[in-house]
Amino acid sequence: MEKQLPGELWLEVFTFLPFGDKQNVRATCSHFKQLLDKSRALWRDFNVTLRDFSRYNRPFWRSLAQRHVGSVTVRSGKQKHLKQLSTWLPSVSALRLDGWQERVIDDLTGFRELTRLSLTSCSVPLRNFNFLYPMCGQLTRLSLCNVTVSIPGPLLLAAIGQLTRMTSLLLHHDGNVKIATLSGVLAKLPELKQLSVTMVTYKTLPTDYFRPEHLPADGAVCLSELQLLNYDAVVTQEVLRPLSRLLRLSITHLYSVPGPTCHLTTWLSCLPQLQSLTVHGGHPLSVYADFLPPSLTSLTLNVDLQPEDLHKVSVRTPNLTHLHLEPWSHAPDLLKPLPQLFPNLHTLKIRHHNIPDRDFLSLSLLQSLHSVYVLDAYHRPDPTDPGWVVYRPGSRLLNMTSQLHQRTNHRVRVIMTSHRDPLACQCE
């Protein structure tokens, strides 16, 4: 039967299949195996994780090469594994080294199309970052997360500063990297748009922290997205003046019990163009709700909040279209006022367990809503045994989803799993 239809039609059908189903179809017959393996488009977003390289034979490598795999994660790897990988898959564009086992990375030039590099959970201290220099005109995204280094912070930034095409930089650490200011690296990376850094070592941000030397007093850097982890530093308006063009800000606070001063109010007062805000921890929403800029269209709140706080938010953010709510405190009436407060919502992310059925179904009143992400799609089959958890949607959630579909004529999708970038670090 499979040969009665043209290959192009089968490939169109296969585009709707998740990865596991593609693998199952591939195993049914040689025709489908060849058809799937030779279609580069079907594997465009496919990431392969490799470990224990002695298990892989030539047919395995040929299969990956035929698929033109562009994204690879290497677990507990060594330099000899990179040489083997670059021989078979020289066109890899995204590479993650997780738990790297050697003190050096000798050479990555075998990956001639590599533009994205991630190093994560490397406990063996890296002696240097000289491997970055040959990549200066090639890499556009670099992630260093939980990587132990044996060189001073300025030398690390000097190596990163050679990557002049960089658009995204992630630098997460446990405090072992001492960096006085980011002004130097911002000056050397003119195309940098996304920056994510750990702030655990700072008590007060220096005046020049975000300001390159050549930047005029009233100038701004090109950053559009900034993520700060473990943040609890004193900041002034002068420090933040170079970030006036910032569009997206994400702050994860260092302490679950906040200090006497809410530094977030200073940030929000200095970012007039901010479109997206994500806050984890820190002060309750009521402390800074009145400082939210009207330009916001996306808001994520993993904080202490009450339903009445959302009234302030709605007044300050009339154009909000994306809302993600994960309150720290028990707030069963959180969804009930949303149709009146945020009538323009397009997407909503929530946890459903403490939400009454009627409030969940009231989301049908949001006429512009098209996606609801349920972040806790699990259930406990036996109420007397709280330790028995099944990580699948329970009958209650499935029933509410069905009713919401009926009420909205399937306009609203309920999504219970979200795709995670396999190259992203676990801090995000």
Q: Any idea which residue has 């596991």 for tokens?
A: 20
CATH classification (class only), 1-44:
mainly alpha
Q: Looking at residue 20, what is its pLDDT?
A: 67
Q: Looking at residue 1, what is its pLDDT?
A: 45
User: In 3D, which of 176, 87, 79, 67 has the Cα closest to residue 123?
Assistant: 176
Start-end ranges of CATH 1.20.1280 in the chain?
A: 1-44
Q: CA quadruple 229, 312, 415, 411: dihedral positive or negative?
A: negative
| Rounded-to-integer distance, Cα 345 and Cα 314, Å | 11
pLDDT tens, the chain, 428 aa long: 445 667 667 766 766 676 667 767 777 887 777 776 666 666 666 788 999 999 999 989 988 888 788 899 999 999 999 999 999 999 899 999 999 999 999 889 999 999 999 999 988 889 999 999 999 999 999 999 998 888 888 889 999 999 999 999 999 987 777 788 899 899 999 899 999 999 877 788 999 999 988 887 778 889 999 999 988 889 999 999 999 899 999 999 887 767 788 999 999 999 989 999 999 999 999 999 999 999 999 999 999 998 899 999 999 999 999 999 999 877 778 899 999 999 999 999 999 888 899 999 999 999 999 999 999 988 888 888 888 888 888 999 999 999 999 999 999 999 986 555 666 666 65
Single-letter amino acid, residue 381: P
| Rounded-to-integer distance, Cα 320 and Cα 294, Å | 9
Q: Any idea which residue has 């036996």 for tokens?
A: 382
Contacts of 30 (CB under 8 A, 6+ apart): none
Retrieve residue 407's tokens: 């009420």
Q: Looking at residue 39, what is its pLDDT?
A: 67
Q: Which residues pair with 74 in a beta bridge?
A: 50, 97
User: In 3D, which of 354, 328, 353, 361 has the Cα closest to residue 338?
Assistant: 361
**Beta strands at 371-374 and 225-231: parallel, antiparallel or unpaired:** unpaired
Question: Is residue 80 classed exposed, middle or buried when 0-12, 13-18 and 19+ CB atoms within 10 A define those classes?
Answer: exposed
Angle 389-335-319 from CA coordinates, rounded to 5°? 125
